[in-house]
A = this chain, B = another copy of it.
Amino acid sequence: MNAPKETFDDERVNLGEITGSLGFLLRMAQLKAFDFFFRTLDGEDLRPGEFTVIWVIQLNPGLRQGTFARTLKIKPAHMTKLIARLVEQGLVHREVPEDDRRSVRLSLSPEGEAFVARYRDQFLHLHLAERSDLTPEEARTLIHLLRRYAGIEGAAT
């Protein structure tokens, strides 16, 4: 019973140069971000991707489904299913316009608008540094660099 602590609980793992790998770090960071997301929107049955889609539809009502998909890098097949869920939940409205009956125009239902309004603040504050060990300055830098890396020429700093 007096094992000399041996290796604590876990054994130490050496990660080597992989801690310099963007792909690896992005995955680890995303896990943490998801964690925040689900902790904040606890009760709700909503996935991160779904919220993003609703959000962007709210800002650009009437655009085509494929336009949203391309912008958010969501594959068409996935988009179809995702939108179907949101329509079923009564948040999104689909309309096939007469002038191009191949396409689908998306907009939010009143319930969808209400939904965005309700979670707007939680969502926007969700991603700030308060939840992590980063200073506000560091968080700003991180967001800025990620935008550059991902090729998103977003709004102001």
Contacts and interface: CB of A to CB of B under 8 A. Distances in A.
Interface of A: 10-11, 13-34, 36-37, 48-49, 52, 55-56, 59-60, 63-64, 67-68, 70-71, 73, 123-124, 126-127, 132-134, 138-139, 141-143, 145-152, 154-155
B22 A67 contact: no
A127 B25 CA distance: 10
Contacts of A22: 29, 33, 127, 139, 142-143, 146
A154 B20 contact: yes
Contacts of A19: 147, 152, 154-155
A145 B152 contact: no
* Residue of A71, A127, A149, A154 ringed by the most chain B CB atoms within 10 A: A149
A106 to B, nearest CB: 11
Nearest to A27: B30
A123 B30 CA distance: 21
Given A18-B55, A32-B151, A13 B145 contact: no
Contact of A70 (B10, B24, B27, B71): B10
Contacts of A126: 21, 23
A64 B14 contact: no
A73 B34 CA distance: 13
Given A15-B59, A56-B15, A64-B11, A149 B29 contact: yes
A17 B63 contact: no
Contacts of A34: 23
